[in-house]
Chains A and B, each alone.
Chain A
Amino acid sequence: MSLDTLAFAGGFQKPVFEAQAVFRTLMDCMARPGTIGRVAATVTPPAPLKATAGAVALTLCDHDTSVWLTPVLAKSALPGWLAFNAGATVTEERQDARFAFVEKGAMLPNLCLFAQGTQEYPDRSTTLVVEIEAFEGGRPLVLTGPGIRTEEEIAPIGLPDMFPHFWSENRQGFPRGVDLILVAGDGILCLPRTTVLRVKSAAGEA
């Protein structure tokens, strides 16, 4: 029986302080959708997942949160790393997942296949952590909703063209639905289900 030592390495150096710092950043970003938080991550998850998404995983996941991974991540050493460093187990059922991780370049799965929560407990839903290329340089999207004074603008590269459509579908069942954490480089940007998103039209913004 060979132990994959990858699984045992690369956790937080100071678990309490680092996890709290990342959690604070996530909380602020969730409260202010569209703002970019920075994570000074020291974790090194197994490839292809990157450090920032790894730090989010070790901050949010624990023994009580089952995690769904894309086929590529599920085949990597990530399941063992999550099991050892966070105690979290991997599930193949999207409906059972409290968190889902999507590495950069992977296809964004259909959001409505994940746990949507219930009318009484909308929190029993999946939070997706999605690595993308960048937060700037793509098609501009305008965000409005709770936590945004007037409106925020983001221009992510790496989300599918149909994303605004997927997102409006995600808002149909409110308060049910999923929340998104986008990750690029050392930055994170949150899209809770309360956020309304539209494509910025050149004419409309004049």
Chain B
Amino acid sequence: MYVAVKGGEAAISNAHRLLADRRRGDRSLPAIGIEQIVAQLGLAVDRVMAEASLYDRALAALAIRQSRGDMIEAIFILRAYRTTLPRFGYSKPVETGAMLIERRVSATYKDLPGGQLLGPTFDYTHRLLDPSLLGDETVEAGLEREEPGEAVMRVSDILADEGLVEDDGSLPDGHVAGDITREPLEFPMARDLRLQALARGDEGFLLALGYSTQRGYARTHPFVGEVRIGEVEVELDMPELGFSVSLGRVQVTECQMIAQFKGSAKNPPQFTRGYGLVFGQSERKAMAMSLVDRALRAEEFGEDIVAPAQDEEFVISHSDNVQATGFVEHLKLPHYVDFQAELDLVRRMRREYEAAQNIDLPEAAE
């Protein structure tokens, strides 16, 4: 039960002023600029964009600054902002096969068309703190090498040539892509809706679930068919013009996870797939997403649903960190009346308990 309480205005106002003061911190240091956050904390910006489900680097950087680097708060602010904007339309599906690639690695094939392109990766770094970053030492530009102009073939297409992997993932004819921002969640859910929910899901939650599948809770024996990061064109149909127009490019990370499947009465043994697609550069999230996507397809493949990662309602209902933080954090808001009622109840139960003890005592003494 909630009761309107007045009297906190001055305290709230002062608290917000204090927040602004602490956010700014030591005034002898220059304030951090939005461009600096975009340029130098780019992966934080990408995470906020992905989980706020809104691609806009400048606004995500503003949210990070405003939230003092509290990522979930930043995601919350950006998510709230998007609700103030009108929807112009749905883009044509982005063509990740035609991506301008910045990184592409495959764990399943060593030599493959397009090659293993490491890009700007943390992999193979020693994870030692780098004292050179304490200051502002000159950093050299990336080396360049003649680009061979070889098409970076999709790994799933290589396997598909042999017929050993399932298709990209079709839905029944006439299926219209659902939109969780427009219709309430209903279970069971089609795979398109699950992917939309996972794409904005909390990285930590999906990472833990993905990890749980590796540790035996819904084992699928996965391989990274490929991870690719790069820019894709966003095209919008313009009904007033009768053609589609490019709005520019966005950066995405895509993961094709390949998982074993022993076959069923209906399907021959072949590899199945989990799919991950995330705004920005976010390999961990895309990989975790693809593991969870595959685990959530258990029913489709007639697998036993035995683990949390396979439970659609559990996963999708708890993957959104804005919802989660709202409900967990609301517990700190005034519940004075609730608690008074609980207090009365516990006092009464205690009296009854003690009364019962007093009656029992003489009997026990006998």
Contact = CB atoms under 8 A, between A and B. Distances in A.
Q: Do A and B come from one complex?
A: yes
Interface of A: 1, 3, 7-8, 62-64, 80, 83-84, 87, 89, 121
Contact of A64 (B87, B184, B239, B242): B87
B182 interface: yes
Nearest to A84: B240
Contact of A83 (B86, B87, B240): B240
Contact of B239 (A1, A62, A89): A89
B160 to A, nearest CB: 35
A12 B184 CA distance: 31
A64 B88 contact: no
Contacts of B87: 62-64, 87
A63 B90 CA distance: 9
B89 A7 contact: no
A121 B185 CA distance: 12
Chain B's interface size range is 10 to 19
Given A62-B86, A62-B87, A80-B240, 5 more contacts: A3-B240, A3-B241, A64-B87, A87-B87, A87-B89
Contacts of A80: 239-240
Contacts of B182: 64
Interface in B182-230: 182, 184
B28 to A, nearest CB: 43
A1 B242 contact: yes
A80 to B, nearest CB: 7
10 contacts: A3-B241, A7-B240, A8-B240, A62-B86, A63-B88, A80-B239, A83-B239, A84-B240, A89-B239, A121-B184
A180 B241 CA distance: 33
A8 B184 CA distance: 34
Contacts of B89: 63, 87
Contacts of A64: 87, 182
Contacts of A89: 239
B6 to A, nearest CB: 28
B242 A87 contact: no
A137 to B, nearest CB: 40
A160 B182 CA distance: 36
Contacts of B86: 62-63, 87
B228 to A, nearest CB: 31
A7 B240 CA distance: 8
A62 to B, nearest CB: 6
B361 to A, nearest CB: 57
A84 B238 CA distance: 9
A63 B88 CA distance: 6
Interface in B222-280: 239-242
A45 to B, nearest CB: 15
Interface string B75-109: 00000000000111100000000000000000000
Interface string B159-193: 00000000000000000000000101000000000
A83 B182 CA distance: 20
Contacts of A87: 86-89
Nearest to B89: A63
Contacts of B241: 3
A82 B214 CA distance: 52
A137 B239 CA distance: 42
A1 B242 CA distance: 9
A47 B89 CA distance: 26
A87 B90 CA distance: 11
**Ordered nearest first, which 4 A-B pairs have the shortest CB separation?**
A83-B239, A63-B87, A84-B240, A63-B89
Nearest to A86: B86
B242 to A, nearest CB: 7
Nearest to B86: A62
Contacts of B239: 80, 83-84, 89
A83 B236 CA distance: 14
Contacts of B184: 121
Contacts of A8: 240
Contacts of A63: 86-89
Q: Which of A3, A8, A84, A87 has the most CB of B within 10 A?
A: A87
A80 B239 CA distance: 8
Nearest to B182: A64
A7 B239 CA distance: 11
B83 to A, nearest CB: 13
A1 B240 CA distance: 11
Contacts of A83: 239-240
Nearest to B184: A121
Nearest to B240: A84
Nearest to A79: B239
A86 to B, nearest CB: 10
Contacts of A3: 240-241
A28 B161 CA distance: 63
Nearest to A15: B86
A89 B90 CA distance: 12
A83 B237 CA distance: 12
A28 B214 CA distance: 57
Contacts of A121: 184
